[in-house]
């Protein structure tokens, strides 16, 4: 593990999201970055009069600026559910710049200030990766919670960096809707575990291979611990098998024995 200045290692995962009530209206943005030692850093911000798209751009801008200060894992991607952000940076920006920051229709590009700042802050070694919003992706769900909290004017900051991703994520659960107040839900930690196990089952059924970074996110173990694994090993109801090139595949454990 390549240590950063504070011993947390490299950044292995990053996610951002934006939220807005009214669009335009009060908005917020949230961001999350994970380190090799399993620690998590979360941050966010608010704007009293903005749009959802501006919050998505602001979240990515703040995250890229933060990543520029840190050691990065070569497999790092910035995960976002904003196709506006991905298409803007990946497809549209070159044309906007050629036309003097005007669209194909000749109109000024909206949110030009943020797009120009993103153009300066982008990191060639950190590609954007689309993740469908509200699809059970734990990091996307967490940054959505942070963004919504800020958009609703909550004064408290997101959880401070913690020694393990599990403790950090469990502290930011969303409040239940008013009509659900009388329901006694399962603890948030169990709800998140179920989400991860359901995802593991889909990955195993589909035969998908995971990078070490992705596997570390799924099983919530530090990347350096996974690098020490030799051969196949068990995680709960699944066998985790190496498939070469630093990739792993999940398979249902027929013996039914469980080991984390």
Active site (catalytic) residues: 17-18, 56, 81, 134, 144
How many CB atoms neighbour CB 72 within 10 A? 18
Cβ atoms of 199 and 205 closer than 8 Å: no
Instruction: Provide the β-strand partners of residue 32.
Output: 15, 42
- Residue 136 falls in which region: left (phi positive, over 0), alpha (psi -120 to 50) or beta: left
Cβ atoms of 63 and 33 closer than 8 Å: yes
Residue 82 phi, psi dihedral angles, 5° rounding: -100, 105
Report the alpha-carbon distance of residue 239 to residue 249 in Å, rounded. 8
Q: Which regions of the chain does DSSP assign to beta strands (E)?
A: 11-20, 25-35, 40-50, 78-80, 128-130, 209-211, 233-235, 238-244, 247-252
């Amino acid at each position: 593990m390549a240590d950063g200045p504070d011993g947390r290692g490299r950044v292995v995962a990053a996610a951002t999201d934006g939220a807005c009530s009214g669009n335009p209206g009060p908005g917020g943005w949230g961001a999350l970055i994970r380190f090799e030692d399993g620690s998590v850093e979360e941050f966010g911000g608010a704007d009293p009069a903005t749009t959802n798209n501006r919050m998505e751009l602001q979240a990515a801008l703040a995250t890229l600026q933060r990543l520029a200060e840190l050691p990065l894992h070569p497999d790092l991607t910035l995960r976002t559910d904003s196709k506006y952000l991905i298409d803007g940076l990946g497809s549209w920006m070159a044309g906007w710049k050629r036309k003097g920051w005007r669209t194909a229709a000749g109109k000024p590009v909206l949110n030009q200030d943020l797009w120009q700042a993103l153009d300066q802050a982008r990191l060639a070694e950190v590609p954007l990766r689309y993740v469908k919003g509200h699809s059970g992706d734990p990091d996307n769900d967490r940054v959505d919670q942070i963004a919504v909290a800020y958009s609703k004017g909550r004064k408290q900051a997101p959880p401070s960096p913690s020694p393990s991703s599990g403790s950090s994520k469990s502290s930011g659960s969303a409040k239940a809707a008013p009509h659900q107040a009388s329901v006694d839900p399962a603890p948030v930690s169990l709800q998140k575990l179920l989400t991860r196990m359901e995802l593991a089952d889909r990955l195993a059924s589909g035969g998908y291979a995971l990078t070490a970074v992705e596997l570390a996110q799924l099983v919530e173990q530090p990347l350096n611990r996974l690098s020490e694994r030799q051969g196949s090993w068990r995680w709960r109801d699944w066998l985790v098998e190496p498939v070469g090139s630093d990739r792993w595949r999940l398979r249902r454990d027929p013996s039914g024995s469980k080991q984390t």
